[in-house]
Amino acid sequence: MANPTFVALRTIWIKEITRFMRIWVQTLVPPAITMTLYFVIFGNLIGSRIGEMNGFSYMEFIVPGLIMMAVITNSYANVSSSFFSAKFQRNVEELLVAPVPNWVIIAGYVGGGVARALLIGIIVTSVSMLFVDLSIYNPLAIALTLLLTATLFSCAGLINAVYAKTFDDISIVPTFVLTPLTYLGGVFYSLSLLPPFWQAVSKANPIVYMVDGFRFGFLGHADVSFSVSMALLLGFNVLLFGIAWTLINRGVGIRS
């Protein structure tokens, strides 16, 4: 007989994956179009004038960062919108009163966000291959960074949804926090180009470590030690999962 906990977890996963696959034109196609424009404008047009970055063509250099940018925004958006919709429609209460541990609820929604992020990552990587011959230095580093980053921002999206009171509230963090941090996270440039002071400031941006770790997996080059990046990613994952569990356990933003 199947374990009830696993059945509940699998059910939430299937529901979440079905939700974003049903509207794939809205969830999967736009990132592919957006990244194609980035590749054309920044990679081909501007990149041809820039030349090389750390010994690689500019196109090769920015591809890992652009993939990571798509993963971050989509993992966050998937969970924040899905969980807030469940809260707004009050069907999340059915999960809370069911004999399902809170960590299963979190893992179910986070798993849906990770699934969408991984699919987006595959799509954007496939698109990038139309513009540049991608080399892979360390597949394990790529997979580990991708998984940890998608999990981290899925947890962050759930926390945002818990506190959100309107649909507008779930767009505040992506607009005013995620977008600036992503653009300043080394997607389009190497930290080595910055003066020492601004390098130190940039290292306070957690997205720097995600982009840098992911780039290391493709190019074998990193501005920050890969082990440091992984340690920080693991730490942030544990922290945000713990915060999400505490909020759900206390019923913050859910129970009246």
8-17, 108-117, 186-195: least confident range: 186-195
Q: Tell me how far apart the alpha carbons of residues 117 and 131 are, in angstroms, rounded to a whole number.
A: 21
Tens digits of per-residue pLDDT, 37-65?
888 887 677 777 777 787 888 888 989 99
Higher pLDDT, 176 or 150: 150
Tens digits of per-residue pLDDT, 83-99?
999 888 888 888 878 88
Tens digits of per-residue pLDDT, 93-134?
888 788 888 999 999 999 999 999 999 999 999 999 888 888
Q: Is residue 150 pLDDT above 60, yes or no?
A: yes
pLDDT of residue 256: 54
Grade residue 2 by pLDDT with cuts at 50, 70 and 90: low
Torsion of CA 159, 105, 88, 78, to 10 degrees: 60
pLDDT of residue 135: 84
Cβ-proximal residues to 66 (8 Å cutoff; 6+ apart), any chain: 35, 38, 39, 124, 128, 187
> How many C-beta atoms lie closer than 10 Å to residue 91's C-beta?
10
Tens digits of per-residue pLDDT, 152-174?
999 999 999 999 988 888 888 88
Strand partners, 56: 53
